[in-house]
Amino acid sequence: MGGRRSGFLGRRAPLAGAGAGALLPRSRLRPRPPGHSSLQVWSLAFSRLPGPNDPRLVSWRVSVGLSLCSMHFEYGILLPAPCPAAATGGGKQEKFEITNLDMKSGMTLKIKGKIHKDVNSFTINLGQEQDKLNLHFNPRFNESTIVFNSRDGGRWGQEQRESNKCFSPGEDVKITVAFHNNEFKVTLPDGHTVTFPNRAKGQNHLRYLSMAGLQISSFKLE
């Protein structure tokens, strides 16, 4: 691959273990830095929302087992993918997770997806790891409220609550998160922007992203 960004366009093509007609997402990956063995996610977009019968695959390696519900990049990034049970209301919620995100101050994360029909809330988390979150974004439909919070060492901080009714189960959504040294600016589907402080002072590099309750169609970091 050399030093260039690499990827492939979403298309249908037979792959070993996947069978003909497999759904391939369109992706762009950052090049491997010298001495590093893993690629970093730059953006990911499906040509359509994965269906319950689609194998879960990304890049050149395939994870077909639906019980595993994973997508695998060639150089070691493992991303849980939309599980059939979650997409069809089977009770097991999808969790999309990246552990080597490269989001720095001044960058923006754009997310598109569809809220699952059988959930009362969904979450987007950004931070260093699962127990160390700079931003916890949690719309709760039955409360008509969005809860913002942070987490450090597994302990939650003080909630910031915003009254908002722009989310409901089954809806398509587009959310933008702009990261600055001292704050996050989250733009909601109705155009309203909410600001939440970056409580980890001086921490301007985010490595962890997770989402649950959403069927992700694309995300882009720029």
Average pLDDT, the chain: 70
The CA radius of gyration of the chain, in Å to the nearest whole number, is 17
Termini Cα distance of the chain: 22
* 179-219 tens-digit pLDDT: 998 999 999 999 999 999 999 988 899 999 999 998 888 87
Closest of 161, 200, 17, 183 to residue 106, by C-alpha: 183
Distance CA(195)–CA(187), nearest Å, equals 9
Q: Residue 178, SS3? A: strand
Distance CA(52)–CA(100), nearest Å, equals 28
Q: Is residue 29 within 8 Å of residue 6, measured between CB atoms?
A: yes
| DSSP E strand boundaries for 31-80 | 40-45, 56-58, 61-63, 70-72, 78-80
* 105-121 tens-digit pLDDT: 999 999 998 999 999 99
Q: pLDDT at position 54, please?
A: 43
Q: pLDDT at position 170, please?
A: 93
Q: pLDDT at position 165, please?
A: 85
* 128-153 tens-digit pLDDT: 999 999 999 999 999 999 999 999 99
Instruction: Indicate if the pLDDT at residue 162 is higher than 80.
Output: yes
Cα-based angle 12, 218, 77 (whole degrees, multiple of 5): 80
Q: pLDDT at position 179, please?
A: 97
Closest of 49, 29, 51, 50 to residue 38, by C-alpha: 29
The token pair that represents 95 in the structure block: 């969790």
Q: pLDDT at position 215, please?
A: 86
Distance CA(29)–CA(187), nearest Å, equals 25
Q: Which residues pair with 78 in a beta bridge?
A: 72
* 27-53 tens-digit pLDDT: 444 444 454 444 344 444 444 444 444
